[in-house]
Structure 1
Amino acid sequence: MKAQKVKIDNIPAIIWGKESGKAYIHVHGKMSCKEYAENFAEIAEKNGYQTISFDLPEHGERKDGNYRCDIWNGIHDLTAIGNYTFSRWKEVSLYACSLGAYFSLHAYADRNFTKCLFQSPILDMEYLIRQMFTWFQVTEEKLFTEKEISTPVDLLHWDYYQYVINHPIEIWNLPTSILYGGKDNMQSEDVIQKFVEQHNCSLTISGNSEHPFMQERDFEIVRKWLEEFI
């Protein structure tokens, strides 16, 4: 399919699909990149949408930079991508995965998306950080003292943790469909269900799927979910 590489506010991006008045912003998660949007873009194109994917900080073409993949840079970059897309397409929707969903919740609450699709979303970052405290024997006091602590999952930052505590997700009034794996260890089902109830979302649970949805059986599950809700 057609894939045009561009720079949006110096952010490496790809515009997928044949010309249309409708587009999806595609926000990937950790350890991914803009090229991974191809399968999504193929389904979106069949439904009349183009797709704009881009590399988050420290991902894809931006791996070698000193620009951290944190909430502040995430909001900055998603805002730039949003400004670009809303200025060029009449109808804009959102797909976001994992950490990309968390950034989207902070950057896009006041955007007029037609619909939003969240796959394995991080909806409560405080919950995840506290899980990491338990997994890796880290305490709040230790993180305050050391400011940064490396773990096998991610680098814990005191400043990031404080932002998370002080900025819970309270406003999200956009039509949203969520795909969640029943074996996801990053967010509990209670966290997901609470968000769904508070914000009137549609929820699809794949009981045997883990957070990444990367087992062979998961590809068909994701495809069917996308084809239903895209």
Structure 2
Amino acid sequence: MKKVILYIHGKDGSHLEAKQYKKNCLGFDLVGVEYDDYLPWVAQKKFKSVYETVFERYDCVYLIANSIGAYLAMHALQDFDIAKALFISPVLDMERLILDMMSWANVSEEDLREKGEISTEFGETLSWKYLCFVRENHVIWNVYTEILCAENDNLVSRQTINQFIGAHNANLTVMENGEHWFHTDEQLAFLDSWMEKAIR
């Protein structure tokens, strides 16, 4: 059986990150998906095109997605045949995240509706169009999913993770003292160990 993993990076990431995970994915080919537009209606076209290309050549498709890549992947690929998904620090509820960011920036829905877009001090641009799209396009995710999150994730709350776990066929692993971005030697070693087990 020919098996492949699609890797979808997070914001400001790269498809080349897939190379660092190759050692954890024995028996699989690994395809990093390159994209630089984080609007779901744009990313969807790219992800579907890549999936359709690999599905012609492989018998089994797994998915690894990081941060916002998880939300974008769930939105784009929810109707496709994926055997298993592995999510790293995933954004699982985009509406909740947008509302949280609006709260951090002290922006009301009325403000955002009126202005359309509002830049924040923490580097994100809030978009009324994006919020409306998320509310109007619910994700239905039926893929068995292994999730790795960090105890000190400052972007995605444990409540959001737990709600997702409770409503989906998913298993959660938590790294104590970890952060949303797994980047230290200790964090990456933990991630590698988790990935090896989750792939099996």
Give the TM-score taking structure 2 as reference length.
0.94
**Higher relative contact order, structure no. (Cα contacts within 8 Å, ≥ 6 residues apart):** 2
- Match of 2:56, SS state, is helix
The equivalences for 1:82-161 within 5 A come to: 82-151=51-120, 152-161=122-131
Following the alignment from structure 1 to structure 2, what is the Cα–Cα distance between the partners of residues 153 and 198?
A: 32
- The amino acid of 2:29's aligned partner reads Q
Partners in 2 of 1:172 and 1:100 — Cα distance? 14
Residues 193-214 of structure 1 deviation map (CA, whole Å, 9 limit, x = unaligned): 1111111201101121111112
Structure 1: give runs of 5+ residues left out of the alignment: 1-19, 58-67
Tell me by how many angstroms 1:145 deviates. Answer: 1.1
1:34 and 2:15 are equivalent in the alignment: yes
User: Identical aligned pairs, as a percentage?
Assistant: 33
What residue number does 2:181 align with? 212
Match of 2:169 in 1: 200
Q: Secondary structure at the match of 1:88?
A: coil
Unaligned runs of 5+ in 2: none
TM-score for both structures, normalised by structure 1: 0.82
Aligned match of 2:32 in 37, 40, 53? Answer: 53
Runs of 4+ aligned structure 1 residues displaced above 4 Å come to none
1:164 corresponds to: 134
One-letter amino acid of the counterpart of residue 31, structure 1 = D
Deviations 1:156-210 (A, max 9, x none): 11110101122233x2111110001111121111111111111120110112111
Q: How many residues align?
A: 198
Equivalent residue number for residue 21 of structure 1: 2
Deviations 1:127-168 (A, max 9, x none): 111111121121111111111111223211111010112223
Q: Quote the residue 1:185 is aligned against.
A: 154
